[in-house]
Structure 1
Amino acid sequence: MIQVGQHHISLEHREIHSHGESVRLGSRAFDILELLIAAEGALVSKDEIMRHVWPDTIVEENNLQVHIAAIRKALGADRDRVVTVPGRGYRMAGVKKGLGAAIAGVGEGTLATHRSNAHNLPLHVSALVGRQCAVADVLAAIESTQIVTLVGSGGIGKTRLAIEAARQMLPCFPDGVAFVSLAPISDSRFALDALAMALGMKISSYGLSLAQIAHEMRDKRRLIVLDNCEHVIDAAAAMAEALAAAGEGMRVLATSREALRSRDEIVYPVLSLDVPGPGNPSDDVLQASAVQLFLARARAADPQFSSDERSVFLTGEICRHLDGIPLAIELAAARAAVLGLEVLAARLDDCLRMLSGGYRTALPRHQTLKATLDWSYRLLDNNERTILRWLGMFIDAFTFDSACYVGAQLGLTHVEVVNALGGLVSKSLVIRVDGSASPRYRLLETTRAYALQRLDDNGERSAATVVHAKLFCERFKRARHDLAVTSLQDDLADFTREIGNVRAALDWAFSATGDRVVGVELASVVVPYLFDLSLVDECHSRARVALDAARDANASNFPAEARLRLTTSWAAALVYTQGPTTQTLEAWSEVLALAVAVGHAGFESRALCGLRHSYQAGGEARRALVVARRFEVLAGQSTDATHSLIGRRMEGAALHYVGEQRMARQRLEEMLSAWVPAAHRWNTIGFRFNQAIVARALLARVTWALGDTAGAMRLAAEALKEAVQHDFELVTCYVLGDVFVPLALLAGDRAAAERGLAMLKGIASRVSLSIWHTCCACYDEYLFSLSGEYPHRLAQFRSALDELRDIDFLAQLTMLLCQFARALMRAEQYTEALTAIDEALQHCEETGEQWYYAELCRAKGDVMRALQRDADAAAWFTTALESARRQSAAVLAVRAASSLARLWIEQGRLGEARTLLSRALARLSNYPADPDVRDGRALLAELEIKIAAVDNKDFRPACIGS
């Protein structure tokens, strides 16, 4: 089975199929088709065809032309694959060995794979004209090397050629084809965002790792198309090399006005289309690919477009004057369908002579393209010209509503904008990006550059820039108020599509020539979106820039709500970028004070949430509980039940850390049982946390404390699965860092801890969450200490803890210090171990944290035993047992009871030890598989044997004496 475009040809059965339907072709015509396919793209002369098809018959050449026409008719949209070589013969383009043959040999089974392959290639409704040989060349180049760059001037058709080649290569890349548009990227820092989005990964902050993206592509067979690389050439070259290095199956196809200069790169120059020479006959003119493109586009606009001899001649003249540049030809064809060829040809000559020029060092075809755009622009009506200029401000696709907003600022009515935009689309100056019911539009990059130049020439750039910024301010301000009827997820998706435009508007607003008042207003609206996209670094930096600008400007131009939104975003990002430091707490306190002053209950609630989270992350358990209860009081004044439920979740978390485990479970279970996702939503941009997931994760910690280790790990795994589906990195990191990994470490489940740590590191690296990087270093040392190979790692453990203290991220400090102390004990560094434990105990005393207090006391008792201070050891074990019982922390109670029982066994207090241990284990009778329960029962069994031995020893002498 051979594929020619969308047609599947079976030489064995002499059949042609298109989209599953049979295509009729006569026997002689099929013989010719078979001969052309066998030549694999080489020229087949007219004489050779005649000898093969009519070996015993003398026929006229027009018979051959009739059958060639029949083949082209059968191939339909792929008719141009049968190429006429004037005066010599014909050849079939696109039939090659290797990769080309693999594509040509796609059968029904492979075709199904083709259709299921993931790709995001742009929609093109028109057939590619005149590039069949170029496509074949690109396919061959991609087969032989990993990086191919299509190089040529603007408007030459590099992108269209790349898309067609990629589309034909879909069957060869089972892991898909990703199209990465770099044109909207104004700063090379964001090139990785575009790559990540095209690959289906989350867009990331400035700290996104190219190495991580390349790692995700390891051992895949995937084609990456990097489009419009010239303005971010260094970043594009780095991406191409990293992707190619990911594996032999990876391929990169780039388009650029210059070579990437990457290792082993093949540079393929994309040339102009063929144009006829002056005075050529009509038949020869029609064989020129530039003429074929012109006629195809003109007939698409006007099916009655003339193709008589005079029209063909004029078309050849026009294409020759336009140097065969596809963009210029398409623009000319659109106008020809309206004005007619005679008028077009006459005006084209005048415009070329009048408007050609520019820099003398520029390539002639660059000047020609400029002249073509000038000419096309002058043929527009006033509304079309004005709209085109102002649409140049959009660095990426724009919506119809955005065009209407711009038009309204220009005094145009809705109908006038519709007509102007429709005219620009029909004349190929604006293109439709997709075929959806709510399409987006964009200007080709060459057209956009021209529009911006015209904007400057008319002195409108400043006004247009303000309108561009205000458009997105109004748009997302309106979206914020529409969240009652739209989903937050849809709103975030809309913002993601516009993030290039938003970044450009913010960059302008805070530049030397910008408008800071507009910038502050825009930032206050859009910066919270950055937080919800996990772009915390960018959220932090842009909020800080806006706040500084506002404080330098007139305070009257800085509304309280704008300040609240910006300070809230800044504080929220600070927690993740710098930790719950004093600066973070001061920022939340500022939000709270301002919210109370202006009577804004919504921001007062948000501030209390932020303060509670910062206190909790900083290990300030007592203060976190106070703030949580203050939030509940405020929530009780609201008619929205959501706030009350969130208050229960917050109080449940605080109660867990202060050691009130049963009450914590009650609050969390109350919240989860009443929570209805569809009804209880805190639809606030900048606060995207899924409350139910967070509550379920917290319940896992409480469940562990109450003695059900297996149930706790099950709940933690469920919460992690939900967090991944929720697709918000900050929630996923919370579940991993605060719950899943700590519980796995506490349970001694090294495999689960390693999995969770790897996942946490990956996400934290991708979205630049520095606090989790620091915490992971401590978890790594905890995990390593479980292996027993500890002495040479103590310095690293100490250093990791110091870094954690530096950012005040102390929620898990007591657990980590306790494990560090045990590692020191195993190294017989008892003084250092006591120092670590005393630090943890002092932290508990100062902050009210109690959830791990029992284990700290037990660890101190173990140190005292090692120092042979048995009385002190017994006192600390007893304190540990009392603390665990007071909290109903059954697991910690068993651990404390086991330690005290071992001491009593050494002291000969066997009966007391048995009673103590039996009572502690009785509270965990429902969890026989728990590791601590197994250890306790093993100790109890040993104790029973010893008691029995003593009883027997005491009994035998009595028998002898009798």
Structure 2
Amino acid sequence: MEPGSVDAEERIYRFGDFRLLPARQSLLRGDTPVRIGSRAIDLLRLLVERPGQLLSKAELISSAWPDTFVHENNLKVNIAALRRALGDTASDLPYIATVTGRGYRFVATVRVQQAAPGRTTPTEFPGAAAGMPPPAGIVGRDEDITRIAETLAWRRFLTIVGPAGVGKTTVALAAARHAASHQPDGVCFVDLAAIGDPQLVTVAIASAIGAGGNLKDILAGIVDALRGRRQLLILDNCEHVLRAASVVADHIRAALPDIAVLATSREPFRSRGETVYRLPPLSCPGSGEDIGHDQAMAFTAVQLFVARARAASGFRLTDANAPIVAGICRRLDGIPLAIELAAPRLRGYDAGTLLHLLDQSFDLLSYGPAEAPLRQQTLLATLDWSYRLLSEAEAAVLRFLSVFAGAFMLDDAIGVGRNLARPPEEIASCIEGLVAKSLLSSSFAGGMLQYRLLDATRSYAAERLRGAGEQRCACTAHATHLLMLFERAEAELQWRVHEEWTVAYGRLANDLRRALDWAFGAEGEPVLGVRLTACAIALWDEMSSVGEGSQRVRRALQSPALAEGGLAARMKLMTAHAWSLSYTERFAPGGEALWQESLRLAELAGDQDYQVRSALGLVVLQCFYGQHRETLKSLRRFQAIAGENDSSAVPAGERMRVMTEFFMGDVRGAHEELKRLVRRDDSTVRRSRLARFQFDWCVAIRTSLGVVQWVAGQPHEAAATVQAALDRATEIGHLVSHSTALVLAAIPVALWTGQIDVAERRLACLVANLRQCDIIIWEPAARLFEGMIQQERGDTEGVQRMQTALTDMMATHFLGRMPNFLCMLADAALRHGRLDIARESMATALDMVERNEERWCEPEVLRVRGILQWREGDARGGEASLLRAAKLAAQSGAMMFELRAALALASCWAAEGRTAEAHALLGPVCARFDAAADGRDVAQARQLLDRLGRSDRRNLHVGRTASGTRLRRSDA
């Protein structure tokens, strides 16, 4: 019905079991009046006149209370009364939805009818065919129905096209009822599903419209019978008699312009004047979304599932089960028939079990309501109906397309088909045909056309593939195609930027999983699996898929087919395994042997790139061990290899050398060299090769510089540098780089400067990263920082949490930087009166400083020991430790540690009344910090210096006054 075609007062609005008759100011449920106030009736009328539209509070108030000022509470009260009248207070499928802070929306399906004088409200639209299916309870199709009805009113020939089970017939019938006012002679419904012979199409139509029998020209008889009528002809299920139905529809439309034709088919007629309406599946929540009841119910697939499950078993959607229901609807691709078949199964299973069973197979959907057409009583029968209509070539292509895990490009299909000896032009033509027949969906992503089989169709096609004995051949072709792609990806990684590379190859992750699962399975080809795993390592590294990559690499290394995979594959797998141990388990001593073996294989293979990777991997491992002398020896070996074979890798070695020298105490030199490396990085074009060294170079150099800047007394610059490192890691989307920057620089710098809120936000980012990629080695560090933040906020339990986390970190052999972490623990323990923990921590820290030559933080270790000694009553020992800490810090260029030591000693002296000495010690150190320097230590030092200065002036004034008084008394 077109807007405006019926006087508003003559309309009857139907929704659910209700009828609203505005002319009578009455609301009926069935034939029973519903008691409701006039204001509520007015509000309901406003809402149902514009279903689905948001009506603002102001608009509703001005319409229901014209020329009257009322408070917004009046609107809320009347809406609440209206909801109670509709039984809408606790419904999973409400009639009226609240849009917080904005207004209300009527969300149920509304049907509009004309109340003719002296005539009761019709239960069916005029002229409905006797054999037409009864109205179905439709969910989520309001917009489709409206658009089809409106289009049909002026285009007069429309075909609803969509995949099996999407609800084409249901929507067609609803659209016909919606457009009833345009068809004074009613509707003729013809179900062609029962017609097996195309020659019987005209016979079926003639019978449905009541044309005379024994016609020599049946088509002419149909035209004669329809002449002079203004009627809608529905041709349902035309795909198997498409050509014959197309001829009839074209002939009728040409001869009888007043006859409208509405057809349903799995592919278009391709007729003159035909309008094609592609009916999509119902909307589903995306994967990975944290979704509750309200968010889930915004999706039409969930609405349908909940409605049918509630009717069958009393199921109710909650925040707890909403993610499971969303997963069920995604698994069913939002296909209404599949949802209708699945929802009643909740009579025997809970939602979680149902999802698990559907993930295994679609056997649960093997039967449906007895009153449904036979071809819709099982999902298998529905798909079988479509499959039988395919040509032999189309059926063969559909079968092998089932090997793809999700979306794929035409080139992918051609690549797999080429390995199956099928010509590209045949594959392209068959794919076009499968799209037209709604067995294959197409869409644009990133400007490129991609294809996808719905999960149910893929499952069906895969079963057909097995039945035809083609599975091994197709899976081999699929894995071989992926091997070719990832071999190309490895080569492109040498020059292609990270963002472009991941877009091009990241889409293949699910296909890669499927291919590897098959290759190492009982019917697979493990040699192909070994080679494919080796080539795919770059993808896992670039995508920060640490846990998955580690698991796949181990599987390949343990395969009996490893030796047959070739020396290059073994080399790549060994290198990847050595890197993975650095992130997923612990820095165990055996890691050095793995790197040595990786280097041996690279030398044996003559692969210069992997020689460089292995040499630097050993350097990184030893650095994490805290074995700084060994690290320098390995660095000389790395620099010799890189300098001879790959000068582009030299800067990575330079950074490691500078940081090793920094850890051994050369803060001043490291600061200058790191600044030089950053300047060189800024002047060059960055092409990230993350898979090579596991860490983005730009992030790595800024992570190192940020720490050194803070130690060197530039807290403001350090904060800006570590933020730049985080921004770069976020920009490229590399979680390993981002997490490592957080652990080694961003969170510690925030904690050192007293920015606890910043540290807490960054810790939340780290925890989120660890959930996505299995960087197990950083989990104790996250707990350490959590304890640090906890105790900074006054909770003594944070100290115990820190101690436990550091114990776990040392068990992983992550010993580099450990003395400084122990200082953080001891400092926190002293603040909370836990001298026992402070003593134990300092003993371990002092031992590690000497044993591992961790000299960069030796001043900090001495500072905390000095405070501990002072607290224990050894003021002389404490003073000596603090003086030595300040001296060592000044010598190395660790100006922040010098300030901390001076601040601690000046505070102790000031407490003893030695203010002049305290001022003389702290003043020169504070003076070396520029005005932009900030952070907790700098602020505390300046505050203490100011108090000491006031105290000195006060003492000087008192001394002068006393002296003057004595002089005057003497004169007297």
What TM-score comes out, normalization by structure 2 length? 0.65
Q: Which stretch of structure 1 is more off in the superposition, 525-534 or 929-938?
A: 929-938
Aligned residues with identical type, % of pairs: 23
Q: Per-residue deviation at 1:817?
A: 1.5
**Residue 711 of structure 2 corresponds to residue 705 of structure 1:** yes
Q: What CA deviation, in whole Å up to 9, does each residue of 1:862-914 have, x standing for no partner?
A: 11112222222122112211221122111211121223334455677655443
**Structure 1 pair 126/251, CA: closer, same or farther in 2 (3 Å)?**
closer
Q: Per-residue deviation at 1:570?
A: 2.2
**Which among 718, 727, 733 is matched to residue 724 of structure 2?**
718
Residue equivalent to 2:170: 131
**Residue 802 of structure 2 corresponds to residue 797 of structure 1:** yes
**Residue 926 of structure 2 corresponds to residue 921 of structure 1:** yes
Residue equivalent to 1:459: 469
For residues 294 and 118 of structure 2, what CA distance do their matches in structure 1 show?
A: 52
**Residue 643 of structure 2 corresponds to residue 636 of structure 1:** yes
**Which among 296, 299, 302 is matched to residue 223 of structure 1?**
299
**Equivalences for 1:366-405 in 2 at 5 Å?**
366-367=380-381, 369-370=383-384, 373=387, 375-377=388-390, 379-380=391-392, 383-405=393-415
Q: Per-residue deviation at 1:628?
A: 4.5
Letter in 1 for 2:714: D
Answer yes or no: is the 8 Å Cα contact 1:576–1:770 preserved in 2.
Answer: yes
For residues 744 and 128 of structure 1, what CA distance do their matches in structure 2 show?
A: 57
For residues 636 and 487 of structure 1, what CA distance do their matches in structure 2 show?
A: 24
For residues 264 and 459 of structure 1, what CA distance do their matches in structure 2 show?
A: 34
Residue equivalent to 1:696: 702
Answer yes or no: is the 8 Å Cα contact 2:602–2:610 preserved in 1.
Answer: yes
For residues 524 and 718 of structure 2, what CA distance do their matches in structure 1 show?
A: 54
Q: Which structure is higher in RCO with an 8 Å CA cutoff and minimum separation 6? A: 1
**Structure 1 pair 925/538, CA: closer, same or farther in 2 (3 Å)?**
closer
Q: Per-residue deviation at 1:246?
A: 8.5
**Which among 504, 513, 518 is matched to residue 528 of structure 2?**
518
Q: Per-residue deviation at 1:263?
A: 7.2
Q: Per-residue deviation at 1:954?
A: 5.6
Answer yes or no: is the 8 Å Cα contact 1:699–1:715 preserved in 2.
Answer: yes
**Structure 1 pair 898/135, CA: closer, same or farther in 2 (3 Å)?**
farther
Letter in 2 for 1:712: A
Answer yes or no: is the 8 Å Cα contact 2:902–2:921 preserved in 1.
Answer: yes
For residues 251 and 83 of structure 1, what CA distance do their matches in structure 2 show?
A: 39
What stretches of structure 2 of length at least 5 have no aligned partner? 10-45, 52-108, 148-160, 176-238, 240-263, 268-276, 310-314, 356-363
Q: Per-residue deviation at 1:324?
A: 5.7
**Residue 807 of structure 2 corresponds to residue 825 of structure 1:** no
Q: Per-residue deviation at 1:621?
A: 4.4
Answer yes or no: is the 8 Å Cα contact 1:665–1:699 preserved in 2.
Answer: yes
**Which among 757, 770, 778 is matched to residue 772 of structure 1?**
778
Q: Which stretch of structure 1 is more off in the superposition, 711-720 or 751-760?
A: 711-720
**Residue 823 of structure 2 corresponds to residue 813 of structure 1:** no
Letter in 2 for 1:463: C
For residues 265 and 302 of structure 2, what CA distance do their matches in structure 1 show?
A: 11
Residue equivalent to 1:738: 744
For residues 239 and 409 of structure 1, what CA distance do their matches in structure 2 show?
A: 50
**Residue 423 of structure 2 corresponds to residue 413 of structure 1:** yes
For residues 923 and 903 of structure 1, what CA distance do their matches in structure 2 show?
A: 22
**Equivalences for 1:883-902 in 2 at 5 Å?**
883-902=888-907
Q: Per-residue deviation at 1:583?
A: 3.8
Cα RMSD (Å): 5.2
> Which SS does the other structure have where 1:393 is aligned?
coil
**Equivalences for 1:405-804 in 2 at 5 Å?**
405-434=415-444, 438-445=448-455, 447-483=457-493, 486-549=496-559, 552-553=560-561, 555=563, 557-628=564-635, 630-638=637-645, 640=647, 642-675=648-681, 679-683=685-689, 685=691, 687=693, 689-790=695-796, 792-804=797-809
Q: Per-residue deviation at 1:804?
A: 1.8
**Structure 1 pair 164/615, CA: closer, same or farther in 2 (3 Å)?**
farther
Q: Which stretch of structure 1 is more off in the superposition, 615-624 or 468-477?
A: 615-624
Answer yes or no: is the 8 Å Cα contact 2:516–2:533 preserved in 1.
Answer: yes
> Which SS does the other structure have where 2:299 is aligned?
strand
Q: Per-residue deviation at 1:224?
A: 8.3
Answer yes or no: is the 8 Å Cα contact 2:628–2:664 preserved in 1.
Answer: yes
**Equivalences for 1:5-44 in 2 at 5 Å?**
none
Letter in 2 for 1:878: L
**Which among 323, 336, 342 is matched to residue 258 of structure 1?**
342
Answer yes or no: is the 8 Å Cα contact 1:135–1:164 preserved in 2.
Answer: no
**Structure 1 pair 435/835, CA: closer, same or farther in 2 (3 Å)?**
closer
Letter in 2 for 1:223: F
Structure number with greater Rg is 2
Letter in 2 for 1:915: A
Residue equivalent to 1:857: 862
Letter in 1 for 2:726: L
Q: Per-residue deviation at 1:508?
A: 1.5
Residue equivalent to 2:872: 867
For residues 913 and 516 of structure 2, what CA distance do their matches in structure 1 show?
A: 76
Letter in 1 for 2:128: V
For residues 662 and 448 of structure 1, what CA distance do their matches in structure 2 show?
A: 63
For residues 803 and 750 of structure 2, what CA distance do their matches in structure 1 show?
A: 21
For residues 588 and 805 of structure 2, what CA distance do their matches in structure 1 show?
A: 17
Answer yes or no: is the 8 Å Cα contact 1:757–1:776 preserved in 2.
Answer: yes
**Structure 1 pair 495/918, CA: closer, same or farther in 2 (3 Å)?**
same
**Which among 824, 846, 855 is matched to residue 841 of structure 1?**
846
**Structure 1 pair 864/547, CA: closer, same or farther in 2 (3 Å)?**
same
Answer yes or no: is the 8 Å Cα contact 1:854–1:880 preserved in 2.
Answer: yes
Answer yes or no: is the 8 Å Cα contact 2:635–2:653 preserved in 1.
Answer: yes
Answer yes or no: is the 8 Å Cα contact 1:860–1:876 preserved in 2.
Answer: yes
For residues 136 and 460 of structure 2, what CA distance do their matches in structure 1 show?
A: 36
Residue equivalent to 1:67: none
Q: Which stretch of structure 1 is more off in the superposition, 591-600 or 497-506?
A: 591-600
For residues 450 and 251 of structure 1, what CA distance do their matches in structure 2 show?
A: 18
For residues 890 and 294 of structure 2, what CA distance do their matches in structure 1 show?
A: 52
Answer yes or no: is the 8 Å Cα contact 1:397–1:433 preserved in 2.
Answer: no
Answer yes or no: is the 8 Å Cα contact 1:223–1:252 preserved in 2.
Answer: no
Letter in 2 for 1:853: E
For residues 41 and 223 of structure 1, what CA distance do their matches in structure 2 show?
A: 18
> Which SS does the other structure have where 1:513 is aligned?
coil
What TM-score comes out, normalization by structure 1 length? 0.66
Answer yes or no: is the 8 Å Cα contact 2:666–2:892 preserved in 1.
Answer: yes
Q: What CA deviation, in whole Å up to 9, does each residue of 1:35-74 have, x standing for no partner?
A: x9899765858x949999xxxxxxxxxxxxxxxxxxxxxx
Q: What CA deviation, in whole Å up to 9, does each residue of 1:264-309 have, x standing for no partner?
A: 9999x9999999x9xxxxxxxxxxxxxxxxxxxxxxxxxxxxxxxx
**Structure 1 pair 749/44, CA: closer, same or farther in 2 (3 Å)?**
closer
For residues 303 and 621 of structure 2, what CA distance do their matches in structure 1 show?
A: 43
Answer yes or no: is the 8 Å Cα contact 2:365–2:379 preserved in 1.
Answer: no
> Which SS does the other structure have where 2:389 is aligned?
helix
For residues 929 and 126 of structure 2, what CA distance do their matches in structure 1 show?
A: 83
For residues 452 and 404 of structure 1, what CA distance do their matches in structure 2 show?
A: 18
For residues 813 and 529 of structure 2, what CA distance do their matches in structure 1 show?
A: 33
For residues 328 and 3 of structure 2, what CA distance do their matches in structure 1 show?
A: 26
Q: Which stretch of structure 1 is more off in the superposition, 711-720 or 218-227?
A: 218-227
Q: What CA deviation, in whole Å up to 9, does each residue of 1:658-708 have, x standing for no partner?
A: 332232222322222222597342536465633212322322212111112
Residue equivalent to 2:129: 86
For residues 703 and 656 of structure 2, what CA distance do their matches in structure 1 show?
A: 12
Aligned residues: 736
Answer yes or no: is the 8 Å Cα contact 2:164–2:386 preserved in 1.
Answer: no
